[in-house]
Amino acid sequence: MKLEKYENKTIKKRKTLLISLGVIVLASISFLLYKTFASFTESAEFSIMNGKVDYFGNSDVYFVFYKDDDQLLEEMPQKDNEENLVFDHGDCDNGASIEWNESEWAPLVKGLNNVKTKCSLYFKEAKGTPLVDYITELAKTDTTNLMADDTAEKNIRYIAYNYSTTTTKNYIDIGDRTTDGQPILWRIIGVMNNTINVETNKQENLVKIVRADNIGDYSWDTSASTINNGWGVNEWSEADLMKLLNPGYETNKLENSEGVEQDDYVNNSLYWDNKAGNCYKSKNNETKSCDFTSSGLSETAKNKIAKVRWYTGTFATYTWGEWTAKATYEAERGSHNGKEACLSAGGGDYCNDTVPRTTTWDGYIGLINLSDFGYAPAKNYRDKCFTQSMSSYKSGNCGIYNWIKPNSLSANYYATINPMPETNPYNSASYFAFIHNEGYVTTFEAKQAIQIYPSAYLKSSVKILPNDNYDTYGSIDNPFIVS
């Protein structure tokens, strides 16, 4: 009997041990499966074949394509298709969401899990007239709002209508929205002829725009206390502000006042990516918190923006009385850079940066050129203004009757993309040109926090949609709508 009881106990212990081991193995497998699927729940990008995609070796994600809202398509329209179909919107089931990458002509699915997901993509016919053609044709009759400039390119410029900076009918909605759905408007500077499209490597006539409202006060550039005395470097291709506005700088590291790299990020493509973080605000790499989640670029807007060549040249010396619109335009396309004047004067502590200098930059988001302000006065003053230096635009109504200037007394300054020599040439490695709210041009150190109005060029494929109220089309209450 004792042996039988012992054997029974041994069998029970073995059963208990086996069950425990089984539970542990199952738990381990479940954990591994969970981790495997969890790692793929945030986002994934797919290549589409015959209306569906291969999701981790099976067909858990399917795409269905529609023209308008109800016409089923056998396959996804190709980019630049003969029917002129463009992407309109998309949706997915099971909690997933979809974004459209226009340049890649492909969907990006986010929020995937381990269940089968169906995504519907809706396309529509792109209606309307190419925006470039519309403005070019409109300029033939609307001489109140539009006029060609006196440059070799004969660019078409929007000009001021009267004292009110909001009266000129050049407001445009490119799809930007705040987090609560309100439109973020831009304004059309004009049609810039013979602009180099970097992506196509061709000269194109493209529409140039600028944000109607500033996105806050930030340093054009700043530097360590040992570099140009902490005042920053006036080279746009390496500027801190350029890295804030454009893609590709998501891992841009913060530097302290001594120039030592820190663990945190700063000016790291936050405006382009609709994110919050740190931004430079003053000399010696001083920072502040910044948030572009409600004011940054939307995917819809980014799909309309071209990557182009910007002109960032300047004058060889500080020529206060010679900043006419045409002379400035030609200097922007010239060979002089921001550091040249201080080097000619012998350099010094305010001219000791080692940043290579250029006079062009290829990118998406910049600031207005100084000459854009020079060519924006109302037509009644233009003949006089074009012989006048922008430094004295205030006295001749050229800056008051000018729609490109700070939009309120609380916004005192309007930054441009162009460096500018200073009266003291030793300081010239840090200065850039800006527009004062009283309507004239002067200079500032790059480290100075100043109101920033982003500027961009729209792709030639952007079309303007018809409007029932033509008389007010382009006004702040009835802005141009483009697709």
pLDDT in tens, 131-150: 999 999 999 999 999 999 99
What local confidence, expressed as pLDDT, does residue 240 receive? 97
What local confidence, expressed as pLDDT, does residue 410 receive? 60
Which band of pLDDT confidence, cut at 50, 70 and 90, is reported for residue 409?
low
**CA 256, 262, 264, 269 torsion: positive or negative?**
positive
* Residue 452 near residue 215, CB atoms below 8 Å: yes
Asked which of 83-87, 345-349, 432-436, 452-456 is least confident by mean pLDDT, the reply is: 83-87
Asked which of 52-56, 258-262, 417-421, 472-476 is least confident by mean pLDDT, the reply is: 52-56
Half-sphere exposure of 354 (CA within 13 A, CB side): 2
What local confidence, expressed as pLDDT, does residue 37 receive? 40
Q: What's the pTM?
A: 0.78
Mean pLDDT along residues 276-296: 96
Secondary structure of the chain in HEC code, one letter for each residue: CHHHHHHHHHHHHHHHHHHHHHHHHHHHHHHHHHHHHHCCCCEEECCCECCEEEECCEEEEEEEEEECCCEEECCCCCCCCCCCEEEEEEEECCCCEEEEECCCCEEEEECCCCCCEEEEEEEEECCCEEHHHHHHHHCCCCCCCEEECCCCCCCEEECCCCCCCCCCCCEEECCCECCCCCECCEEEEEEEEEEEECCCCEEEEEEEEEECCCCCEEECCCCCCCCHHHCCCCCHHHCHHHHHHCCCCCCCEEECCCCCEEEEECCCCHHHHCCEEEEEEECCCEEEEEECCCCCCCHHHHCCECCEEEECCCCCCCCHHHCCHHHHHHHHCCCCCCCHHHHHCCCCHHHCCCCCCCCEEEECCECCCHHHHHCCECHHHHHHHCCCCHHHCCCCCCCCCECCCCCECCECEEEEEEECCCCCHHHCCCEEEEEECCCCEEEEECCCEEECCCEEEECCCCEECCCCCHHHCCECCECEEEC
pLDDT in tens, 379-401: 888 888 999 999 999 887 898 88
**CA 226, 228, 231, 234 torsion: positive or negative?**
negative
**CA 40, CA 294: separation in Å to the nearest integer?**
28
- Checking if the pLDDT of 204 tops 90, the result is yes
- Checking if the pLDDT of 4 tops 70, the result is no
Q: Which two tokens stand for residue 452?
A: 């920033």
pLDDT in tens, 314-336: 999 998 889 999 999 999 999 99
Which band of pLDDT confidence, cut at 50, 70 and 90, is reported for residue 15?
low
What local confidence, expressed as pLDDT, does residue 20 receive? 57
- Checking if the pLDDT of 311 tops 60, the result is yes
- Alpha carbon of 285 to those of 222, 231, 245, 267: distances in Å? 5, 9, 18, 11
Angle (CA) 132 177 62, round 5°: 90
- Checking if the pLDDT of 55 tops 50, the result is no
**CA 113, CA 121: separation in Å to the nearest integer?**
19
* Residue 425 near residue 317, CB atoms below 8 Å: yes
pLDDT in tens, 156-203: 999 998 766 778 999 999 999 888 888 999 999 999 999 999 999 999
* Residue 117 near residue 97, CB atoms below 8 Å: no
What local confidence, expressed as pLDDT, does residue 403 receive? 93
- Checking if the pLDDT of 49 tops 50, the result is no
Closest alpha carbon to 151 in 337, 420, 393, 332: 332
**CA 444, 385, 205, 99 torsion: positive or negative?**
positive
What local confidence, expressed as pLDDT, does residue 24 receive? 54
Query: Residues with Cβ < 8 Å from 242, sequence gap 6 or more?
Result: 236, 361, 363, 366
- Checking if the pLDDT of 99 tops 70, the result is yes
What local confidence, expressed as pLDDT, does residue 7 receive? 46
What local confidence, expressed as pLDDT, does residue 14 receive? 56
Strands 253-255 and 261-265: antiparallel
Which band of pLDDT confidence, cut at 50, 70 and 90, is reported for residue 408?
low
What local confidence, expressed as pLDDT, does residue 127 receive? 77
What local confidence, expressed as pLDDT, does residue 36 receive? 39
What local confidence, expressed as pLDDT, does residue 424 receive? 92
Regarding predicted confidence, which is higher, 30 or 249? 249
What local confidence, expressed as pLDDT, does residue 2 receive? 38
What local confidence, expressed as pLDDT, does residue 337 receive? 96
Asked which of 122-126, 141-145, 372-376, 389-393 is least confident by mean pLDDT, the reply is: 122-126
Total Cβ atoms within 10 A of residue 87? 21
pLDDT in tens, 412-428: 889 999 999 999 999 99
**CA 460, CA 163: separation in Å to the nearest integer?**
32
Mean pLDDT along residues 67-91: 84
Percent of the chain with pLDDT strictly greater than 70 = 86
What local confidence, expressed as pLDDT, does residue 107 receive? 87
What local confidence, expressed as pLDDT, does residue 394 receive? 86
What local confidence, expressed as pLDDT, does residue 88 receive? 84
Regarding predicted confidence, which is higher, 243 or 409? 243
- Average per-residue pLDDT in the chain? 86
**CA 334, CA 424: separation in Å to the nearest integer?**
22
Closest alpha carbon to 244 in 211, 291, 184: 291
What local confidence, expressed as pLDDT, does residue 104 receive? 79
Regarding predicted confidence, which is higher, 471 or 305? 305
Q: Which two tokens stand for residue 86?
A: 């463009």
Closest alpha carbon to 202 in 291, 335, 308, 338: 308
**CA 293, CA 273: separation in Å to the nearest integer?**
8
